[in-house]
């Protein structure tokens, strides 16, 4: 694992994916790579044997996560992450790949598909990836949508050798051969050791690593590049992804930090801060076979066109003056909705209810985890144990089954973690690392949580997170 401060390759990947004549990057990133001089770079096309396969997945739902489903814009992925939903990112990515010459039969899209016609969308049937941008939703294949956007289907698609393992969807899989190249882009909320999914359970790090190992063992691809955009995304690979499998991973934040962005309420723009020197930016990292970062990206995203990198010093999108934790984006979305709604309108009442519910659930989850820690370890030691970060190079936890058991026990008594509660996965891991048994956790959780949240935050009604 290495930091990207000294590597231009992630930046090249972002821009090549953007498919624009010139893509903009933060001047700090260029400075760290070229000294004090910002240098335009042109990447020319190179032809490679083998088939290009792409899997695009937005691991969330709801209009508040608009940016994720905009996967069709893998390029601006790092440049213009909207506050709306991950569908926008996924859709934009698709359009870029199509311009690169990839065929629909080799592009597999996972998106809940609930924002284009959401009543909050001011342009029904349209998804954009930048203010006043053009539609990126049209023509996007809907391979796996709604309840079929699951970790189980995602794994089955990657492996590609057992369509009977799929549940619903188009049935399209990565049916790759030994000379083929695979690119996977995953955008969603995350937490230590997990990635979100619109339909539970969440994706667990160990399970993903096992799938990647299995894919490698079958000899059905020449190389695989994985780009992951989520909070604590480094924890998915830290101490788990081995070298020598021809797999290269680049992520938006290290194992211990949230994924930060710049939010402009008027434009619904959320911008990833890429430079490692920003006090309000997450650290882009890389794992696996770092040597693959030296290769051309044409084998993964197509080769129709030439891409130029220019100085973005005048681009207002890179201002970090309004950088916020990605986990607070939903609250800002609700607040803007409340502020813009007419007094006395049902829309304003609904927005207020959403704010109150979200804040109440946050307080419930945060307070419950802390109190459980106090019961298990005592008030004096609880915070230190729950917040312990293992040394770099070690995985979040050794016993992943224990982690799943602890989370299920908590959710049985206290309700769903939800997107906000993902941040507490480290606490549950540390409870396991400290040697606490499931029956001890059961007693502590029952003592702290005397009632179970209903409806939206009920794990019994909606399923467990892991």
Q: Catalytic residue positions?
A: 189, 231
Q: State the DSSP H helix or E strand holding residue 153, giving kind and residue range, or none if neither.
A: helix 151-159
Cβ 51 vs Cβ 103: under 8 Å: no
**Other CB atoms within 10 A of residue 177 CB:** 12
Residues sharing a CB contact under 8 Å with residue 453, sequence separation 6 or more, in sequence order:
361, 364, 414, 415, 416
Cβ 234 vs Cβ 252: under 8 Å: no
Cβ 47 vs Cβ 303: under 8 Å: yes
d(CA 39, CA 308): 10
Q: Can you tell me which residue has the tokens 């509660």? A: 421
Q: Edge-to-edge, what's the strand order for the sheet holding 203-204? A: 190-191, 194-195, 203-204
Work out the angle at residue 370's Cα, subtended by the Cα atoms of residues 365 and 376, and round it to the nearest 5 degrees: 125
Alpha carbon of residue 79 to chain centroid: 15
Under DSSP, the state recorded for 424 is G
Q: Are strands 81-82 and 269-272 parallel, antiparallel or unpaired?
A: antiparallel
Alpha carbon of residue 337 to chain centroid: 24
Cβ 446 vs Cβ 408: under 8 Å: no
């Amino acid at each position: 694992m290495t930091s990207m401060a000294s590597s231009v390759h992630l930046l090249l990947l972002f821009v090549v994916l953007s498919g624009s004549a010139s893509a903009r990057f933060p001047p700090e990133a260029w400075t760290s790579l070229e000294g004090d001089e910002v240098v335009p770079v042109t990447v020319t096309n190179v032809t490679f044997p083998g088939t290009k396969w792409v899997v695009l997945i937005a691991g969330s739902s709801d209009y508040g996560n608009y940016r994720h489903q905009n996967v069709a814009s893998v390029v601006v992925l790092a440049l213009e992450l909207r506050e709306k939903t991950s569908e926008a990112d996924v859709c934009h990515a698709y359009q870029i790949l199509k311009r690169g010459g990839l065929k629909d039969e080799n592009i597999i899209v996972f998106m809940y598909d609930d924002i284009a016609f959401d009543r909050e969308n001011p342009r029904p049937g349209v998804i954009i990836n930048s203010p006043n941008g053009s539609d990126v939703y049209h023509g996007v294949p809907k391979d796996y949508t709604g309840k079929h956007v699951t970790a189980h289907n995602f794994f089955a698609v990657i492996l590609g050798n057992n369509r009977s393992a799929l549940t619903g969807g188009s049935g399209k899989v990565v049916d790759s051969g030994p000379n083929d190249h695979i690119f996977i882009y995953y955008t969603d909320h995350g937490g230590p050791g997990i990635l979100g999914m619109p339909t539970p359970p969440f994706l667990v790090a160990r399970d993903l690593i096992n799938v990647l190992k299995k894919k490698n063992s079958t000899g059905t691809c020449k190389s695989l590049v994985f780009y992951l955009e989520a909070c604590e995304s480094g924890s998915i690979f830290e101490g788990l992804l081995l070298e020598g499998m021809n797999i290269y991973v680049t992520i938006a934040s290290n194992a211990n930090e949230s994924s930060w962005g710049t939010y402009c309420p008027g434009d619904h723009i959320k911008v990833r801060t890429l430079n490692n020197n920003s006090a309000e930016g997450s650290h882009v990292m890389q794992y696996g076979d770092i040597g693959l970062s030296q290769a051309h990206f044409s084998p993964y995203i197509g080769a129709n066109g030439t891409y130029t990198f220019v100085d973005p010093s005048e681009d207002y999108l890179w201002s970090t003056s309004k950088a916020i934790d990605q986990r607070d984006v939903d609250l800002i979305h609700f607040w803007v909705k409340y502020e813009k709604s007419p007094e006395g309108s049902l829309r304003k009442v609904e927005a207020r209810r959403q704010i109150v519910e979200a804040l109440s659930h946050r307080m419930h989850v945060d307070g419950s985890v802390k109190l459980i820690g106090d019961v298990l370890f005592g008030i004096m030691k609880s915070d230190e144990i729950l917040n312990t970060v293992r040394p770099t190079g070690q995985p979040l936890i050794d016993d992943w089954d224990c982690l799943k058991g602890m989370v299920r026990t908590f959710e049985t008594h206290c309700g769903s973690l939800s997107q906000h509660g993902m941040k507490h996965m480290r606490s549950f891991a540390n409870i396991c690392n400290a040697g606490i048994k499931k029956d001890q956790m059961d007693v502590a959780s029952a003592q702290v949580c005397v009632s179970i949240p209903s409806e939206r935050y009920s794990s019994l009604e909606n399923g467990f997170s892991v």
